[in-house]
Amino acid sequence: MRKGSLFVAVVVAALLALTGCADFSDQDRAKDAGAWSANNESMRKQEQPTPSPNEPLVPPPPGPCVDPDPAVIATCLESTAAVLPGDDKGDVTIVAERTTGKIITTKRYGPQRVLATVGVDASGDGGLIAFAPSPTYAQDRLIYALITTGSDNRIVRIAPGDVPKPILTGIPKGATGNMGSMFFRSPGELVVATGNAGDPSSAADPTSLAGKVLSVRSLSSTGNPRPRVLASGFGSNVSLCTSAATGSLYVADQAPTEDRLQVLDESGPKVLWTWPDRPQIAGCAAASGNLYVSTTRTQHIEALTEPTRQKPGVTPPTVVLEKRYGALGRMVALDNGILQFATVNRTSGKPVSTDDRVVKWLPPSAGEDRT
């Protein structure tokens, strides 16, 4: 999600100030994850991007996890999920390792620091799916996470030195279709997107929490009521992104017959664009008057103009980054227009020695007057 508010700046500053890490007892950990079949699509070699003129010339440390690409700010991660910026310039990242249950903060040349670890079942496409720091993280050090267990997908609250506390349980789990997304829309509302758990019919079932966008307002660890459903009918690998410019909430997902980008308004989800060739959209972001999607199979970042009241339509997608980093996963936009995106080459691509990685990248200007 695009992060433009002051409270988010406070949250990420507090995350970076954390000196320890939260780990949890073995009895709460899931059993070892099973294998997830890889997508072995080949990658073409690309020219390395030009370093930013403002980037300091820091000599690389020795070791196998040094990527020569100056845009790469995290290396040698296990397969990734959610990613958040760790500062207002995009030099620091906070990233979830889906298969290990770790939330890690790092920057180019490291070091990596584990902010929290939660036990997960990482079989299929489950595991540590998404996370969101508490809006009052500076005081309470709480992190909310969407995870897969042996029996379900659920939202948990993570506190240092304690076991994760369940906030919402019973989200259907499947062999696939577990990937979702989450963010705090306000201090009292956690918006959560869930995948269809491999069962498209469950997304339309009002009794199921699968394939939905949910408004979770009860954040205690006991006796929480069922969340309000904001929208239904979503497929697998559902990601959310918000626009600071328009206030719109966008939802990207992989439906059974196509990939989609939708905007969520008062009347429900409205389709902005579809991809019948199913490139496996994995992330979305809104920045500088554009909407961006990242893809796993085709290894792209594609851009569309963001709809506004004056210009409600969108332009056809344009490929703005192609097969430079392999299979792409989640992404996030900063207020300055920079994107951070994570690779998923260890599970869905052809990994290089420094995979998986997080990349800091400034998209090319669209050259359109949006005033």
Number of residues assigned to the chain: 371
Q: Residue 214 carries which DSSP code?
A: E
Q: What are phi and psi of 125, to 5 degrees?
A: -110, 25
- Give me the percent of the chain exceeding a pLDDT of 70: 82
- Rounded CA separation 299/371 (Å): 32
Question: pLDDT per residue over 84-118, tens digit each?
Answer: 999 999 999 999 999 999 999 999 998 999 999 99
Q: Residue 53 carries which DSSP code?
A: T
Q: pLDDT at position 33, please?
A: 28
Question: pLDDT per residue over 272-306, tens digit each?
Answer: 999 999 999 999 999 999 999 999 999 999 999 99
Beta-bridge partner residues of 328: 343
Question: pLDDT per residue over 231-262, tens digit each?
Answer: 999 999 999 999 999 999 999 999 999 999 99
Q: What are phi and psi of 276, to 5 degrees?
A: -65, -20
Asked if 276 and 256 count as a contact pair (C-beta separation under 8 A), the reply is no
**What are 198's two structure tokens?**
């491999």
Given pLDDT bands bounded at 50, 70 and 90, which one contains residue 20? very low
Q: pLDDT at position 55, please?
A: 53
Question: pLDDT per residue over 205-230, tens digit each?
Answer: 999 999 999 999 999 888 789 999 99
Given pLDDT bands bounded at 50, 70 and 90, which one contains residue 41? very low
Q: pLDDT at position 57, please?
A: 59
Question: pLDDT per residue over 330-348, tens digit each?
Answer: 999 999 999 999 999 999 9
Domain locations in the chain as residue ranges: 6-44+69-361
SS3 318: strand
Q: pLDDT at position 312, please?
A: 86
CATH 2.60.40.420 fits 6-44+69-361, yes or no: no
